[in-house]
Structures are given as C-alpha cells and as structure tokens.
C-alpha cells in the first residue's frame, strides 16, 4: 500500500506539495500515530479495530458495519459519495480511503490532511495491507501479529487441502433473484478466487484473468462445475434471493445432478479483511461436504 501511495503521488505534480506534507506526517505517525482516523473502506475499518486502533477511529464509511462498535460512529459517505465537508469538519489526522478517490485525495492534499490509499486486490494483499496500515497508525506490533496469524492459518488450510481432490467449482456472488440471469462469478484473479483455491477448490473460471465474470447460461452449461457455491452479503439483495431452485433447470451439470449447490451468507465473503480466515474456513467446510457426498 505504501508503494502504491508513493507511485500514485509521483504521477501527479499537483500532489507534489501534499506529498512532502504526507512524508512529514508519516514520520510523526511513526512516533505517536494518528489520533483521529477516518476510514471509508469496510476492510480497513475492520483492520483498524482488529489491531486495537478502533478507539482512535472517529468516523467510518456508509457501508461499514463490522465490528458492531462502528454503528455508533458518524458516517462520511463511501467510494462514490464521500462527504468532503463532513470529513474536514471532523479534523482527522489520517483518512483511510480508496486509492481511486482522486478528488478526495486532492482535497485532502490542499487541507494538508494525510491519507492512506487502499486498493482491492488478492488474498495476499490483505495481510500486506494489515502490516502497512498498522505501521502507518503506530500499531505495527499488533498488525504484524494479526497478519502472521492470518498467514499461518491460511498456510495450514493450504496444507490440509493440498492432497485432497480439488472439485471444479463455480463461485457466484450475484444473480437476478428467482432466475439464472446476470450470473456474476469470481474470475481467475482477486480475493474470491484466491479464497476458493486456498480452501481446496479449482476455479472453473481460472483461465479468465478478471476479478468478476458475467456468465451466460451457456457458459455455465459448458464449463460444467462439480460444485456451485453462492456467497451472499447479509445487507445485499442477493441474500434475499438465496433460493437455489433456479439452478435445477441446468440438470446436465454435475453440481446440480449431484446436489452440490450451496449457499453461504456473511460479510466476510465480500469484505477482504481480518475475517478472511473465517470465510476460507466456511468454503473449506463446504467443499469438504461436497467431497463427502
């Protein structure tokens, strides 16, 4: 993340002045750490609370719901609609935001408020982010301990599943309720793909190097997954659509024929944060159940 931050700034002369301020602020942060943190990103909010920096978080994004303590904090918008005025009025000494929020970054630069840019990538980036963010907020030991623990648990899962059969799996994170239209599935890169592979599945869309693939019915039929796992966010509409019966129309695919279509619900499947271990464990458990049938 720190590398991203430096690269991002060097591209924009506009931020040159802000960059020097940020560097100075970073040095200060190493000494005491920021005391008024705003986090707009659900993943980083979870990380901050997990490494013990929660009490220093003064506001969060619109979609932050974990841990429960964040529900009492003020909201300052999200990726598309950050409330700049509200953010400035809360006098933060660090804003954790998406690296693509260039307008907000420009405004923070003008106001000389340091920021930490987050980018959504793969599974390995979660622990990198934890370490980088921990160092940035002065909680490096706690962050390192958390990241090491996550890395170890994921490595244990990989070791446990390495010699087991890896069923050809379709990981779905969205479709039209009550039908098989607009199926969104994990492609061959990103957090969901990495979790599936770690849990012992073979991603049937691994050859498509995208984080998400909008699948047609024909594509599902010809890829013939042995297991289909739908992941649902409790807050999203897809949760209400956890009825799996539409899949029965595709009776030629092994997953349907052998009743290996599953539904999992939880924020941990859509928020790449410290709960990733729980998400991988749920996928591993599901794949184990499919193998056992």
Subset of 206-225 contacting other proteins (CB under 8 A): 208, 213-214, 216-219, 221-222, 224
Cβ atoms of 92 and 36 within 8 Å: the answer is yes
d(C-alpha 282, C-alpha 69), whole Å: 24
Candidates 160, 179, 209, 289; binder of other proteins (CB under 8 A) is 179
Asked if 6 is part of the footprint of other proteins (rule: CB under 8 A), the reply reads: no
Subset of 66-125 contacting other proteins (CB under 8 A): 78-81
Asked if 156 is part of the footprint of other proteins (rule: CB under 8 A), the reply reads: no
Cβ atoms of 283 and 195 within 8 Å: the answer is yes
C-beta closer to other proteins: residue 91 or 209: 209
Q: Which 3 state secondary structure label does DSSP give 95?
A: strand
| Least distance in angstroms from the C-beta of 193 to other proteins | 16
Asked if 63 is part of the footprint of other proteins (rule: CB under 8 A), the reply reads: yes
C-beta closer to other proteins: residue 129 or 233: 233
Candidates 52, 122, 236, 266; binder of other proteins (CB under 8 A) is 236
User: Which tokens in the block code for residue 275?
Assistant: 């709960």
4 C-beta neighbours (distance < 10 Å), count: 15
- Gyration radius of the chain over CA positions: 21
Strands of the sheet with 57-60, listed across from one edge: 57-60, 37-39, 94-98, 115-118
The pairing of beta strand 261-265 with beta strand 115-118: unpaired
d(C-alpha 134, C-alpha 33), whole Å: 10
| Least distance in angstroms from the C-beta of 143 to other proteins | 27
d(C-alpha 180, C-alpha 46), whole Å: 33
The DSSP line for 159-174 is HHHTTS---EEEEEEE
C-beta closer to other proteins: residue 180 or 281: 180
Cβ atoms of 257 and 223 within 8 Å: the answer is no
Subset of 250-289 contacting other proteins (CB under 8 A): 250-252, 257, 270
| Least distance in angstroms from the C-beta of 120 to other proteins | 11
| Least distance in angstroms from the C-beta of 54 to other proteins | 24
| Least distance in angstroms from the C-beta of 211 to other proteins | 12
Q: Which residue has the tokens 């931020």?
A: 15
Asked if 164 is part of the footprint of other proteins (rule: CB under 8 A), the reply reads: no
C-beta closer to other proteins: residue 69 or 240: 240
Question: Dihedral angle at the C-alpha atoms of 57, 63, 64, 65, nearest 10 degrees?
Answer: 140
Size of site (CB under 8 A) for other proteins? 40
Candidates 112, 249, 258, 285; binder of other proteins (CB under 8 A) is 249
Q: Given the rule CB under 8 A, which residues bind other proteins?
A: 63, 78-81, 174, 176-182, 184, 208, 213-214, 216-219, 221-222, 224, 233, 235-241, 243, 246, 249-252, 257, 270
């Amino acid at each position: 993340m720190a590398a991203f931050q430096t690269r991002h700034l060097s591209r924009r002369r506009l931020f040159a002045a802000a960059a020097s301020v940020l560097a100075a602020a970073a040095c200060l942060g190493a000494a005491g750490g920021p005391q008024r943190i705003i986090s707009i990103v659900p993943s980083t909010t979870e990380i901050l609370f997990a490494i013990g920096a929660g009490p220093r978080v003064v506001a969060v994004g619109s979609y932050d719901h974990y841990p429960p303590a964040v529900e009492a904090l003020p909201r300052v918008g999200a990726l598309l609609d950050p409330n700049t005025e509200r953010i400035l009025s809360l006098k933060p000494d660090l804003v954790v935001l998406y690296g693509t929020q260039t307008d907000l970054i420009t405004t923070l630069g003008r106001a000389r408020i340091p920021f930490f840019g987050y980018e959504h990538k793969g599974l390995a980036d979660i622990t990198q982010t934890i370490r980088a963010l921990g160092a940035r907020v002065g909680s490096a030991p706690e962050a390192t301990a958390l990241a090491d623990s996550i890395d170890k648990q994921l490595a244990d899962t990989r070791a446990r599943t390495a010699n087991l059969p890896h069923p050809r799996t379709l990981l779905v994170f969205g479709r039209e309720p009550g039908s098989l239209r607009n199926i969104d599935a994990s492609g061959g890169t990103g957090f969901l793909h990495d979790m599936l592979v770690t849990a012992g599945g073979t991603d049937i869309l691994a050859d498509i190097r995208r984080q998400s693939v909008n699948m047609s019915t024909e594509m599902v039929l010809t890829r013939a997954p042995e297991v289909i796992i739908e992941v649902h966010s409790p807050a999203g509409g897809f949760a209400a659509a956890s009825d799996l019966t539409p899949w029965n129309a595709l009776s030629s695919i092994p997953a349907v024929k052998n009743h290996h279509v599953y539904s999992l619900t939880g924020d941990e499947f859509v928020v790449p944060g410290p709960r990733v271990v729980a998400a991988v464990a749920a996928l591993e458990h599901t794949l184990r159940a499919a193998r056992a049938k």
